[in-house]
Amino acid sequence: MANDPIHQFQIAKWVPIEIGGLDFSFTNASAFMVATVAAAGAFLYLTTSSRGLVPSRLQSVSEMSYEFVSSMLRDAAGSHGMKFFPFVFSLFMFVLVANLLGLFPYFFTVTSHIIVTFALALLVIGTVIVYGFYRNGASFLKLFVPSGVPGILVPLVVLIEVISFLSRPISLSVRLFANMLAGHITLKVFAGFVTSLSALGIAGVAGSVLPLAMTVAITALEFLVAFLQAYVFAVLTCMYLNDAIHPGH
């Protein structure tokens, strides 16, 4: 059981709640989502509360994350996109802090469950569709009609473009989920080799140095992946929002 690499993803009901036959239990996933929001909010609030003109180290970390997301959004979606800044910034901080919290031993990784990442992706694509129609009306549909296509091919191309558009939330969520899941399983498998090998005696203990070194290296890689996936998620959100703001560019 100790070496089961899947065990870390099991949902445990901490406080069973049932309302009208539906399961609303407070699970470890809920707890870590609350912890993610609390950690991100507390970090941003506490580090910026002094409001130093010359920022302290932690305050400059907060300011850097603000600048990072705002320049990303302005590059991708122009200055009209800045009204979505709170949305993109919250998404970025949530994914980033959830990924980083998951790297602590014995912690639960929220983003390694596809239902969580899919809900986030649906939120993004729902915003794109609703805002796209609200702002552009029917001309939002021009997004699906590429220019310069012969008339007879238009229905086929439009169908392909629609499928391609609908596949966006799936690829967005699968990418984040698969990266976190694969990384944590790899980490756990290599760490499991250390205990199995060292049970073999003195030669095994000497040999277990290799998987231990690998585990350390993979941990470093996982930190990179945690940042990178949060960044990719936010960048793709910005690009999709740009399609809603300027369709047919």
Contacts with other proteins, residue ranges (CB under 8 A): 72, 75-78, 142-144, 146-148, 156, 159-161, 163-168, 170-171, 174-175, 178-179, 182, 221, 224-225, 228, 231-232, 235-236, 239, 242-243, 246-249
Q: How many residues appear in the chain?
A: 249
Nearer to other proteins, 9 or 165 (CB): 165
Nearest to 219 by CA among 245, 237, 194, 249: 194
Give min distance, CB of 49 to other proteins, in A: 32
Nearer to other proteins, 44 or 243 (CB): 243
Phi-psi region of 109 (alpha: psi -120 to 50; beta: other; left: phi over 0): beta
Give min distance, CB of 221 to other proteins, in A: 8
Nearest to 223 by CA among 184, 194, 193: 184
Give min distance, CB of 234 to other proteins, in A: 10
Rounded to 10 degrees, the C-alpha dihedral 150/156/161/166 comes to: 170
Nearest to 91 by CA among 57, 136, 124: 124
Nearer to other proteins, 31 or 114 (CB): 114
Nearer to other proteins, 52 or 78 (CB): 78
Nearer to other proteins, 33 or 125 (CB): 125
Pairing of strands 13-15, 26-27: antiparallel
Give min distance, CB of 115 to other proteins, in A: 16
Angle at 80 between CA 96 and CA 145, to 5 degrees: 95
Give min distance, CB of 233 to other proteins, in A: 10
